[in-house]
Amino acid sequence: MKWYTSCWWVGWLLVMLTAGCQQPALPAMHLSTTDTIGVETPVPVRMEYTSGKEHWASTGTIQRRGGMSLKYEKHSYKIELDKKTGLAGLPEDDDWIIHASAIDKTFLRNTISYTWFREMSELNRAPAFRYMELYLNGDYRGLYILMEQLESTRLGLHKKDSTACIFKDPPVFRSDTIEPQDAGNYYQQTYPDGGNAYGTALMTQIRTRLLAAPDSSFSAWSKALFDWNNIADWQILLLLTNNGDGVLKNFYLYRQDASAPLRVAPWDYDHSFGRDGDYEYNMLATVVEPERNLLIKNLMYLPEYRQLLAARWKALRASGIISNEHFIGLIDAQYHLLQSATAANSALWPDNSWWYFDDNNFEQEVDIMKQFMELRIPQLDTWMADL
């Protein structure tokens, strides 16, 4: 197959003109393909990644990815390389997500959420990431986030263990039923591929137990099956970010082996920090209710779990991990780098595009996040003290 030659200088010139003639400090990924990139079928692609003096090149396949985000004009992609590559200092792998952050003009809501969750405990998993600028067949396509795909290696699964499993947005914590994307894989098991009898039986057992009223054995049962500390950290993250979409979806549920409990890893937190699920402005007029989640609802009946939740919050506050100062620090660590890159991105994908609720720019959106956190942490201090 004949590959397009990447016209690097065309994209470079565009960035120079749109970013005030300042050389971008971000890594660049150049993708070349002769095929139309669709959603269903991966197509061949050549990837070149440059970061300073480091350069990687590989071939593989690419396809568009996303759920609701598929309607946006700026596309996210999944690439599967022919060989494992450690892009941008991240652990080697062949599966990568190229996230458009089409709805979040700060490019920070996802990355701060993932960072915060990992900081809460060394056992918590969330995607590692790097910011980069993307070029497709020589054309500049904007600022993107290179992210790990949460699969067996990155979640630490022991693949020889028949009980190792991963589920993406399993409807196991819902009180209602859903129309599955794959009728043969209702619980959306991603490892092993396409689901297996063990995973289906495990999720069915959990859902049946959660739909019933908690009894005297629920505490021991749930503590044996789930990592309570991980679930408490997840609940804290949902509360802290006010991410209503994350209560019943936008998470991975996984088990590393037979001796390990089930844990949650977060995914997709761009509707948060002052924005609702439809991306409408929300400075806590509507507050997320994690109790819509059957697991959290039933755990909150238990004094032991409520005490754990309050203790986790107190410890995270005392360590400074959850603090307004730390939150500002997480923003400031990327602010100046992103400020220039978002200017170039906005020249291609305008801030007043149809899919945005308003025409705020990068700086205004960052201010919303800061204002939100000034309100949210004190509010949660009071809520946790009453547990």
- Decide which of 284, 319, 354 is a domain's last residue: 319
Whether residue 88 has pLDDT greater than 90: no
Check whether residue 107 and residue 70 sit in a common domain: yes
Check whether residue 61 and residue 174 sit in a common domain: no
pLDDT given at position 2: 33
Check whether residue 309 and residue 181 sit in a common domain: yes
Whether residue 15 has pLDDT greater than 50: no
Which residues span the domain enclosing 240? Answer: 165-319
Distance from C-alpha of 188 to C-alpha of 194, rounded to nearest angstrom: 8
Distance from C-alpha of 42 to C-alpha of 341, rounded to nearest angstrom: 29
Check whether residue 37 and residue 131 sit in a common domain: yes
Taking residues 36-57, report their average pLDDT: 93
Whether residue 190 has pLDDT greater than 70: yes
> How deeply is 253 buried, as exposed, middle or buried, from its count of CB atoms within 10 A (0-12, 13-18, 19+)?
buried
Whether residue 8 has pLDDT greater than 70: no
Query: Is 112 contained in some domain?
Result: yes
Check whether residue 37 and residue 112 sit in a common domain: yes
Query: Tokens 């060394």 label which residue?
Result: 122
Contacts of 63 (CB under 8 A, 6+ apart): 37, 38, 39, 40, 41, 42, 43, 77, 78
Query: Is 49 contained in some domain?
Result: yes
Check whether residue 20 and residue 64 sit in a common domain: yes
Helix or strand holding residue 80 (H, E): strand 76-85
- Decide which of 148, 174, 194 is a domain's last residue: 148
- Decide which of 105, 120, 148 is a domain's last residue: 148
pLDDT given at position 100: 97
Taking residues 177-185, report their average pLDDT: 87
How confident is residue 83, by pLDDT bands cut at 50, 70 and 90? very high
Query: Is 58 contained in some domain?
Result: yes
Distance from C-alpha of 151 to C-alpha of 128, rounded to nearest angstrom: 12
Each residue of 272-298: pLDDT tens digit?
Answer: 999 997 789 999 999 999 999 999 999
Lowest-confidence range among 6-15, 238-247, 319-328? 6-15
Check whether residue 46 and residue 173 sit in a common domain: no
Does residue 166 contact residue 189 with C-beta atoms inside 8 Å? yes
Check whether residue 252 and residue 112 sit in a common domain: no
Distances, alpha carbon 376 to alpha carbons 75, 168, 239, 325, in Å? 32, 28, 9, 13
Query: Is 352 contained in some domain?
Result: no
What is the reported pTM? 0.92
Tokens of 50: 């440059």
Query: Is 387 contained in some domain?
Result: no
Residue 291 bridge partners (DSSP): none
Total of domains in the chain? 2
Check whether residue 262 and residue 185 sit in a common domain: yes
Taking residues 191-201, report their average pLDDT: 94
Check whether residue 101 and residue 22 sit in a common domain: yes
Check whether residue 248 and residue 310 sit in a common domain: yes
